Amino acid sequence: MTIDQFNFAGKKAFVRVDFNVPLDENFNITDDTRMRAALPTLKKILADGGSIIIGSHLGRPKGPTDKFSLKHILNHLSDLLDIEVQFANDCMGEEAAIKAAALQPGEVLLLENLRFYAEEEGKPRGLAEDATDEEKAAAKKAIKESQKEFTKKLASYADCYVNDAFGTAHRAHASTALIAKYFDQDHKMFGYLMEKEVKAVDKVLNDIQRPFTAIMGGSKVSSKIEIIENLLNKVDNLIIAGGMTYTFTKALGGKIGVSICEDDKLELALDLIEKAKEKGVNLVLAVDAKVADSFSNDANAKFCPVNEIPDGWEGLDIGPETEKIFADVIKKSKTILWNGPTGVFEFENFTHGSRTVGEAIVEATKNGAFSLVGGGDSVACVNKFGLADGVSYVSTGGGALLEAIEGKVLPGIAAINE
Ligand code: AMP
C-alpha cells in the first residue's frame, strides 16, 4: 500500500515520525527540519479527513524526564499544522487510549516520548553494573515480553500505521518496526518522506550512472570502515577527507604532527588502500592540509603537504591543491554520495574545503549528476553554505542512510514491505 493510494477519511493513523529535534537550554527548537520533513504526510492524512496519533522519540532518555518531553515541541507543531494539536502526557496509560479513541477527523494527538519506556528500544534499563550473565539474560527476556504488550497497545490506538521516520529505520524498535505486525498489508505504508529516502537510496544502490564518486569525511575511520569497504565494491572514485585523512597519511609513512589519528587503524588503512587497488577503485587522498597550532578557530594557520605536518601542528582542513583534485573528480561524476565534512567546518577558518566540495557537487548536479548528501554533519554543511537546493537529495538519515547504503536491510523498511 502506498500513502497516495490510501484514503484516510474516517480513519485513525498511527504515524511514527522522527521529531528528535535539537533544543536549546530554554527548550526552543534550534532546527525544525525534521518536523517540516514530516508535514506532507501529516497534511495528506488530515486533508483526507483522517486523524493522527503521532509517536516519536526525543533524545536518549533513560526514563521520564522533563528535559526530553515532547511537550516542548507541541506549540511549534500546532503552528506548523495550523491546528491545535492535543497531547498525551504518557504514551501508555488510560489518558492516551481515551484521547486516541476520542479523536475526530482532522484532529491530531501527540504522544509523549516513546523512549520514556525501555520497551520502545527493547533494552533493559537500570541493571546493576555487577549483574551476572543470568540476571542480564532474565532482564532481556522480561523486556522482550513487556515490549510485546507495549507494541500492541500503541497499535491499538489506530486503524493504520504510517512510518515516516527514516532517521530511526535502522532500529528494530517497537514503534519503528515491531508495530507493523499488527497491521495487514493494506493498512501499513511509508510516509512521503520515507518514500523519498528509499527512492534516493535505491538510486545510488541500484541505478548507478557512472562515474560514481563517494566523498567520505568526518572524524574517524573506525565509525566508517564498513561503509568504506562496502563502497569499494560500488564506486569508481572514493575520496577520503576529514579527520580520517591523517590515519591514512601516517599509515603511508607521513608526518602528521598532532592531527587526529587512530593508531590502531593504521593496518586497516593500508588494507583499504590495497583493496581499492585490487578493485580498480580510484582512492583519492589529500595531498596538502590547512594546519593549525591549536584546535581552535583562532589558531595560527598555514598550508603544508599532508605528509609533512610540523610537530605540534594539526590538520584541520584540506589545502588548496587537494581542493582542486577533489573538485575535478567530483565535477566529472554522474552519481555522488557525500558523507562528512573535509575538516572542522564548525570553525569558520576551516570551512573552505567543505564548501569547495559542496560547490563542486552542486555544479556536477547542474550538469546532470544525481547527488545524495547524508549524515548529520554533511547536511549541516550544505545548509550552512546554502547549497541544499543545488543537490539532488538531502537525506534526513545519518546512521540509517549509511546502513542502507552498506546494503543492510533496515528493519523499519522491511516491516512495511513484509
Ligand atoms: P562524523 O560525525 O564522523 O561525520 O564527524 C564529523 C566531525 O568530524 C565534525 O564535527 C568535524 O569537526 C570533525 N572533523 C573533520 N575533520 C577533522 C579534523 N581534521 N580534525 C578533527 N576533527 C575533524
Q: How far is C-alpha 102 from the chain's CA centre?
A: 35
With left for phi above 0 and alpha for psi between -120 and 50, is residue 90 left, alpha or beta?
A: beta
pLDDT at 129: 87
Mapping DSSP to helix (H, G, I), strand (E, B) and coil, where does residue 309 land? strand
Q: How far apart are CA 111 and CA 90, in angstroms?
A: 7
Ligand 1 centre from 341 Cα, in Å? 7
Cell numbers linked to 259: 592531527
Q: How far apart are CA 228 and CA 406, in angstroms?
A: 9
Q: How far apart are CA 146 and CA 299, in angstroms?
A: 54
Bridge partners of 409, per DSSP, are: none
Go through 233-251 and write b for each residue having 16 or more CB atoms within 10 A of its CB, e for each that does not: ebbbbbbbbbbbbbbbbbb
Report the nearest-CA residue for atom 2 of ligand 1.
218
Cα–ligand 1 centroid distance for 26 (angstroms): 27
**pLDDT in the model for residue 402:** 87
Lowest-confidence region among 29-38, 204-213, 371-380? 371-380
* d(CA 291, ligand 1 centre) in Å: 14
* Distance from residue 202's CA to the centre of ligand 1 (Å): 27
Of 155, 53, 63, 152, the C-alpha closest to 111 is: 53
| Mutation pick for ligand 1 pocket among 239, 377, 395 (CB with most ligand atoms within 8 Å) | 377
Give the position, in ligand 1's atom list, of the atom nearest the Cα of 378: 4
Segments of the chain assigned to CATH 3.40.50.1260? 12-190, 205-405
Residue 418: is its pLDDT beyond 70?
yes
Beta strands in 199-245 (DSSP E): 212-216, 237-240
Residue 301 is placed in which grid cell? Answer: 594557520
What pLDDT is recorded for position 376? Answer: 65
Q: Report the mean per-residue pLDDT for the chain.
A: 95
Residue type, 201: V
12-190: CATH class:
alpha beta
Helices (H) and strands (E) in the chain, counts: 14, 17
What confidence category does residue 410 fall into, taking pLDDT thresholds of 50, 70 and 90?
Answer: very high
Tell how far the Cα of 309 is from the centroid of ligand 1, in angstroms.
18
Top CATH class of 205-405 equals alpha beta
pTM above 0.75, yes or no: yes
Mean pLDDT of 230-247: 95
Residues forming a β-bridge with 64: none
Residue position matching grid coordinates 532500529: 171
Q: Which residues, judged by CB distance below 6 Å to any ligand atom, belong to the binding site of ligand 1?
A: 218-220, 223, 242-243, 260, 315-316, 340-341, 343-344, 346, 375, 377
**Which residue, by CA, sits nearest to atom 10 of ligand 1?**
344
Amino acid identity of residue 75, one-letter, is N
What is the rounded (10 degree) CA torsion for 102, 103, 105, 111? Answer: -170
So what's the pLDDT on residue 108?
98
| Nearest residue by C-alpha to atom 21 in ligand 1 | 243
By residue count, the chain amounts to 418
- Catalytic positions are 34, 220, 376, 399
Nearest CA, atom 6, ligand 1: 218
Query: Which grid coordinates belong to 83?
Result: 491546528
Q: What gap in Å lies between CA 308 and CA 287, rounded to an integer?
A: 10
- The whole-number average pLDDT for the span 335-363 is 96
- Shortest-distance Cα residue to atom 4 of ligand 1: 218
Q: Mutate which of 337, 344, 349, 351 to test ligand 1's pocket (most atoms within 8 Å of Cβ)?
A: 344
* Cis status of the peptide bond prior to 341, with omega within 30 of 0: no
Confidence of residue 219 (pLDDT cuts 50, 70, 90): confident
Q: Which residue puts its alpha carbon closest to atom 18 of ligand 1?
A: 243
For the residues 144-158, what does the mean pLDDT come to?
98
Report percent pLDDT > 70 for the chain. 100
Backbone angles phi, psi at 42, to 5 degrees: -65, -40
Contact 374, 218 (CB under 8 A): no
* Residue 413 · residue 202 · CB < 8 Å: no
Question: For residue 24, what pLDDT band results from cuts at 50, 70 and 90?
Answer: very high
- Residue 113, pLDDT score: 98
Give the model confidence (pLDDT) of 253-289 as tens digits: 999 999 999 999 999 999 999 999 999 999 999 999 9
Q: How confident is the model at residue 379 (pLDDT cuts 50, 70, 90)?
A: confident
Q: What's the CA-to-centroid distance between 217 and ligand 1, angstroms?
A: 7
